[in-house]
Structure 1
Amino acid sequence: MARPSRAHERRADLVAAARRAVLDRGMLDLRLRDVAEEAGLSSGSVLYYFPTLTDLLREVQREAVDRFCAAREEAVRAVPDPRDRLIAMIRSGLPSGPDDELCVLLYELGTVARREASYAAEHIRLYERQVGIYAGILDTGAATGAFTLTRDAGTIARNLVALEDGYGLHITMAVPTVDTARAEALLLAAASDATGRDLSTLPDQEGDR
């Protein structure tokens, strides 16, 4: 009797090793041998399962995008009130801090999107999927009278995702310029302006006066 193939398990192990290597070394200096060392294999063994390092890292990116978006969808799925759903959505999109592994992984993989079309396509999928979640919440809120939108739902959604990305980068920098609580308050203020509904009170800070 033939032994069952372990190719799927081996590929999953390599994706996990590549994920750790990206987090440890970053994308810009990452080499195939770094992933091989992380996995305890030779470079040739890695290439047996993934023809190129790019193929392997695309799988890392795809998995990270799916995990991140699925978590956001889950965070809002059971929240009935549009206002509370929008707040939950905003809170689900920001890094928990400088060491938030999933967010850092997505930011690292996004650094090569400008030069690599395959990475760019996955980055776009991440963006559009999040925009879709936001737009659905905003449309529902407008339809039920919970929100009075100042722009169409798609425009507001795209702006909120872009703000999340920007604040997330500032949270995860080597020297963070904003923390998660402050970024959340700023996003809630922007969402309040866009929906005509007070979602939060922005805390006073000396630099804002």
Structure 2
Amino acid sequence: MARPSRAHERRAALVAAARRAVIERGVLDLRLRDVAEQAEMSSGAVLYYFPTLIDLLREVQREAVDRFCSAREAAVRDEPDPRRRLAAMVRSGLPTGPDDELCVLLYELGTIARRESSYAAEHIRLYERQVGIYTGILESGAATGAFTLTRDATTIARNLVALEDGYGLHIVMAVPTLDTARAARLLLAAAADATGCALHDLEGDR
């Protein structure tokens, strides 16, 4: 009887090892042997499962994007009040601090997007998926009368995601210029201006 293939397990282990290596070394200084050492494998064994380091990092990026967006979707899924859903969405997109592994990972991998079209495509998918969540919340709030939108929902959504990206980068920098709580207040203020709805006084806001 043929032995069951462990290729899926090995690939998953390599993705996890590459994720740790990116967090420790950063993308720009990352070498194939760094991943191999994390996985306790030879470089040749890594290349057996992923033809190049770029291929492996592409899988790391895809997994990180899905994990991040799924968490954001889960954060707002069961909240019926569009105001609270919007506030929860704002909070779910910011790093918890400079050591937020998933957000740091996404920022690191985003640096390759300027040079590699496949990474750019995944980065666009990350952006558009978040815009879609925001747009749904904004349209729902406008339909129920909770929001009076100053612009179309998609424009507001795109601006909020861009603000999140900018503030998030400031949070995870080597010398952070603001913390998560301050960034959340700034984003909630922008969302309030765009929706005509006070958001800072909702339960759980700071």
TM range (shorter): over 0.9
1:75-108 Cα offsets, whole Å, 9 max, x none, are 0000000000000000100000000000000000
Deviations 1:96-139 (A, max 9, x none): 00000000000000011001101100000000000000000000
1:96 to 2:111 alignment:
no
**Identical pairs, percent:** 84
SS state of the match for residue 113, structure 1? helix
- Alpha-carbon distance between aligned partners in 2 of 1:9 and 1:112, rounded to the nearest angstrom: 27
User: Unpaired runs of 5+ in structure 1?
Assistant: 202-209
Q: Which residues of 2 match residues 6-155 of structure 1 at below 5 A?
A: 6-155=6-155
SS in 2 for 1:106: helix
Matched with 1:174 is 174
CA RMSD of aligned residues (A): 0.6
> TM-score, normalised to structure 2's length?
0.97
Could you state the TM-score of these two structures normalised by the residue count of structure 1? 0.95
Q: Deviations over 1:35-78 (max 9, x none)?
A: 11111111110000001101000000000000000000000000
- Give the Cα–Cα distance (whole angstroms) in 2 for the partners of residues 140 and 38 of structure 1: 46
Distance 1:158 1:165 in 2: 11
The 3-state SS of whatever aligns with 2:99 is: coil
CA distance in 1, matches of 2:74, 2:174: 30
- Residue equivalent to 2:204: none
| Residues in 2 aligned to 1:33 and 1:42: alpha-carbon distance in whole angstroms | 8
Is the partner of 1:111 in helix, strand or coil?
Answer: helix
Work out the CA distance in 2 between the residues paired with 1:34 and 1:72. 31
Give the match for residue 204 of structure 1: none
Read off the aligned partner of 2:187 and give its amino acid letter. Answer: L
TM superposition shift of 1:172: 0.2
Amino acid in the other structure paired with 1:83: R
Distance 2:120 2:36 in 1: 25
Runs of 4+ in 1 over 3 A off after TM superposition: none
Which residue type is aligned with residue 92 of structure 1?
A: S
| Cross-structure match for 1:200 | 200
Cα distance in 2, alignment partners of residues 38 and 74 from structure 1: 31
Deviation at 1:200, TM superposition (A): 1.3
Whole-angstrom CA distance in 1 between matches of 2:99 and 2:37: 23
Read off the aligned partner of 2:40 and give its amino acid letter.
G
**How many residues are matched?**
201
- Return the alpha-carbon distance in structure 2 between the equivalents of residues 198 and 73 of structure 1: 23
Letter in 2 for 1:36: A
SS in 2 for 1:178: coil
